Amino acid sequence: MKTIKLGLLGLGTVGGGTLKILQENADILSQRVPARFEVKRIAVRDLNKPRTVDTGGIALTDQPFTVVNDPEIDVVVELMGGTTLARELVLSAIDNGKHIVTANKALLAEHGEEVFAAAERKGVQVAYEAAVAGGIPIIKALREGLAANRIDWLAGIINGTGNYILTELKQPGADFATVLKNAQALGYAEADPTFDVEGIDAAHKLTILASLAFGIPLQFDKVYTEGISAISADDMRFAAMLGYEIKHLGLAKRTDAGVSLRVHPTLVPKSVLLAQVSGVMNAVMTHGDQVGPTLYYGPGAGAGPTASAVVADLVDVARTMDCKAHAQVPMLGLGNRQNLTVLGMDEVRCACYLRFLAKDVPGVLAKFSGVLAQAGISVEHMHQEPCDDESGDALVVLITDEVTEAAMNRAISKLESLDEIDGAVQRIRIETLN
């Protein structure tokens, strides 16, 4: 039986999980691919750190370039994260003729064009199932399972931290700061939660999914990104009253004018399965022209789920590493890249939820409706309720019809200039996903 020698860059949560699966499921893996995996070298930051997995017989090093330059290693598994050293190591490994398995969504979203081009020139593979949605095989679904379809759109809950926070905000008396602190205490959020709560992590993942779905280049810089820190318990309550759930979605849509790439809080009808995904779970919904809507659900992070995807990639690489390039599934799904325009956010059309504080006086709602009407925006629903204080203000919620982002921005600016409105207007976009 052939032996495939592996070099791991990183032995943290995912690296440890990967090594554990390779050790515990060696017999199962040998039944699925006619080869034996052998971990030859592992690069770690601290050689003296206690390990939770057995590293006996494996050379540990704090010099990662010794891994990518080892002539005996066939596949480099990059699990260290980051976009600087990781990029150098991956490109060096490719230049040395080694296949790559990576869980690094930031690396691929920001430098993927360079990485995949280098791999194509050298005739090696870059496998990256673990880079998006952990244990959910959404990369394989888009590359292979949905190959017969023209993908119209996809929408994903692709950051478990954000989904956990929004789920907890539905609890009576919840506020964002407290929920975030609890998420950090539970290990769901980092000490610096910016990448999660501001949507950067989801934008990295959406960049990859959109490239697969539409055949477009990886264009992280063109993803509109908005976080969830402005979402309040009032928003969660009003959304539920109106028949919606608020989800922090990554959305990629194809239109006649081009494709939109965006990450932002979104009102989703409760009847849509994606709206029912709670806690730290991930889910991706796609719509193909032949199959219609499909949903992929599961754990999006953690040692077991993410390492499961890493090892699945190793199996795929082992099965095809001796095949000619024309016999392999293209790394980004389509052999020929599509030159589709990525729309600016001002061109995107969607219905909107607006919430604001207003003076509770006669005729004020008609004035708000008039401002929107002048902007060509129809109001589909309006709700007003007094605040639980002595301010004399009322909470006002409006649901508008579908409108361009540019028109809504102008209308919001006019609303905020009114004396009758106190503070900013909260806007959450609405997607029916049908």
- Give Dmax over CA atoms of the chain in angstroms: 83
Q: With beta carbons less than 8 A apart as the criterion, state whether 73 and 40 touch.
A: yes
As given in the structure block, the two tokens for residue 72 are 């005996």
- Distance, in Å, from the CA atom of 79 to the CA atom of 130, rounded to the nearest integer, reads 10
Which residues face 269 on adjacent strands?
244
DSSP string, 231-296: --HHHHHHHHHTTEEEEEEEEEEE-SS-EEEEEEEEEEETTSGGGG--TTEEEEEEEETTTEEEEE
Active-site annotation holder among 105, 140, 205, 247: 205
- Distance, in Å, from the CA atom of 357 to the CA atom of 216, rounded to the nearest integer, reads 42
Active site residue 20: no
- Distance, in Å, from the CA atom of 269 to the CA atom of 76, rounded to the nearest integer, reads 43
**Beta-carbon count within 10 A of 140 CB:** 18
- Distance, in Å, from the CA atom of 254 to the CA atom of 209, rounded to the nearest integer, reads 13
> Which residue numbers are catalytic?
205
